Structure 1
Amino acid sequence: MASCFGTRPLSGWEKALRPPVTRARAAKAEGKVRPVSAVCRSKRLCTLPLLQASRNLEVMERYLKYRWTDHVPSLKEPPEGPHAIAAMRLLCMAQANGRTVVDAFNLELPQEDKEVLSVEMSRTGCAGQSFSPTLVPKEILSKPAGPAFVIYYGPAFLQALGSDSAVLRLRILAEIYRCSRELWPESAAAVATSVHVRIDTVKGLKVAEILDVSKGELWLVTKHNESEAFVERASHRKLNKFVRNGQKFQILDLGFLRESHKQ
């Protein structure tokens, strides 16, 4: 999500936050600050206040809490703890599927995947800036590192839930983050940078369609340059070509999808 605040986007956020708020509601949410319209990188208008860049995270945190408390049916008070930012971001990303996705994140997602999402979705890509300590994993504050990942079409992937299992979609998202981190290991020197990971190829697919790749094909996260990667399908021939050319990639381990379909 990319921020519409200030003069540049917040790194590490999916680009497609589409807040269904009016000017009046946005002003109320942000303390009566006069809002201006800005074009999100998702090419949809969102009405948000124009504030100094140093306040971006503070305003974004307030906005996430506002979206949580404004949800119908009620989700009660905004969450706290190391998984809070990830949960609130997932609610915004999933839109109409928000409650289903958040419940899956909180109650059903394996702990390992929950930790991956919580850590990676709490990175900001901004040096010296973080969300409130009570809302993020301790390592985000004790060991600031980057790059942060911008998952292009991450929101679309969750919004296309349909009859699929929300847990399986979250596990796929966690595996994409995990492979991306293998390609870009944590580095304190990269704390103020971001990498775009495009998932165009899977954003509209059902889980069964993701699993049903042709015989011998695999899903990869492929590093195309120092700031961009793609999720793509690859045959053994294509894989061999990548190896021959020194192309960096990680194979998505989607064995859990096969196990879920056997049950």
Structure 2
Amino acid sequence: RPMVPAEPRGDSAISKMRLSLQAQTADKQEAVLAAFDTLEQGEQRLLSEEMARTGISGQRFYRGPEFGETVVGPAFLVYYSPAFLRNLSPLDALPALRILAEVYRRARQLWPLRPSVDAHHSVTIRIDQLKELKLAQIMEAFAEGESWLLVRQNDQEGVVERHRLDDMAKVIQDGKNAVVLKVWRADRAEGRESGSKEGRKHKGGRNKSRKVGFLNPSKSKSDGGTSFKSRSDGASSSASMKSGGVYSSSLSDGGSEAGASRTGSLKLLSPCLEA
């Protein structure tokens, strides 16, 4: 019987725990964790920071990255992230993580960091249109004269939408703020090959009941986008958080996640059914 691995350490600990538990099954977890370590340093750092934000001033995860004296938000809840990740894993785990990183990157462009104001410390980003698509279907939008946009609906909600290039002017006229998601970069040659290799490597592990290790847990480490003037798959991730001496929290991503206490070993929980 394999030993339960120690909890991941370093700046990427929270993001790795959350992504692993979104993936749920052993073969997909292994592929996602291996893919995370294949990401470029900037993408690793982006996911490590954005997935560890609580959005509440002065509050941070004990195992999360250091944000300095002032911790600000808002934090992003990428709704249907678990369903999206599971749909593309294990074969395309690496492109899936790159697309998620791009969603977080453009969301931060539309909602810059700022001190929390009353209860407005989180923003929901809905990726309903992406969650059931395979990688080729996501990419074919560009060959058909269309693009993926992240549209700001209001102060606390954004939606990923597929639009024809000709319709972008209408998005502007409607008074919505939107940015182009440069997801075509997720399928660049070197990443595609790596993702496919990982997918084949873990193909036989589907639905096996076993513990999963974390790869290089201490390893961690956006660019300008084109802007335009726009539950439930339930997940919870809990991990140790530091806020005035109290260590506890949970975040929801529309899938099934769970973390661990600050001293114990990480245990993978049984997947929850999606609503």
Matches within 5 A, 1:45-56: none
Within the candidate set 95, 98, 117, 1:168 is matched to 95
Counterpart CA distance in 1 for 2:10 and 2:89 is: 30
1:239 pairs with 2:157: no
Matched residue count: 188
2:24 counterpart residue number = 95
**Does the 8 Å contact 1:146/1:190 carry over to 2?**
no
2:264 counterpart residue number = none
Counterpart CA distance in 1 for 2:99 and 2:5 is: 28
Counterpart CA distance in 1 for 2:126 and 2:4 is: 31
Question: Secondary structure at 2:105's aligned position in 1?
Answer: helix
1:159 counterpart residue number = 86
1:116 pairs with 2:57: no
1:202 counterpart residue number = 130
Counterpart CA distance in 1 for 2:118 and 2:47 is: 17
Counterpart CA distance in 2 for 1:191 and 1:121 is: 21
Root-mean-square deviation over aligned CA pairs: 2.2
**Does the 8 Å contact 2:123/2:157 carry over to 1?**
yes
Gap runs ≥5 in structure 2: 194-275
| Change in 2 beyond 3 A, CA 1:244/1:151 | same
| Change in 2 beyond 3 A, CA 1:231/1:73 | farther
**Does the 8 Å contact 1:219/1:232 carry over to 2?**
yes
Counterpart CA distance in 1 for 2:118 and 2:147 is: 31
Counterpart CA distance in 1 for 2:3 and 2:97 is: 22
Q: CA deviation at 1:259?
A: 2.8
Matches within 5 A, 1:40-189: 74=3, 76-96=5-25, 97-105=28-36, 107-132=37-62, 135-139=63-67, 141-162=68-89, 164-189=91-116
Identity %: 39
Counterpart CA distance in 1 for 2:135 and 2:31 is: 16
Within the candidate set 148, 155, 160, 1:219 is matched to 148
Q: Which has the higher contact order (CA 8 A, sep 6+)?
A: 2
Gap runs ≥5 in structure 1: 1-71
2:213 counterpart residue number = none
Normalized against structure 2, the TM-score is what?
0.63
Counterpart CA distance in 2 for 1:126 and 1:189 is: 6
Greater share of helix residues, 1 or 2? 1
Counterpart CA distance in 2 for 1:256 and 1:75 is: 36
| Change in 2 beyond 3 A, CA 1:250/1:103 | same
The AA in structure 2 aligned to 1:102 is L
Counterpart CA distance in 2 for 1:256 and 1:103 is: 19
Question: Secondary structure at 1:195's aligned position in 2?
Answer: strand
| Change in 2 beyond 3 A, CA 1:199/1:228 | same
Normalized against structure 1, the TM-score is what?
0.66
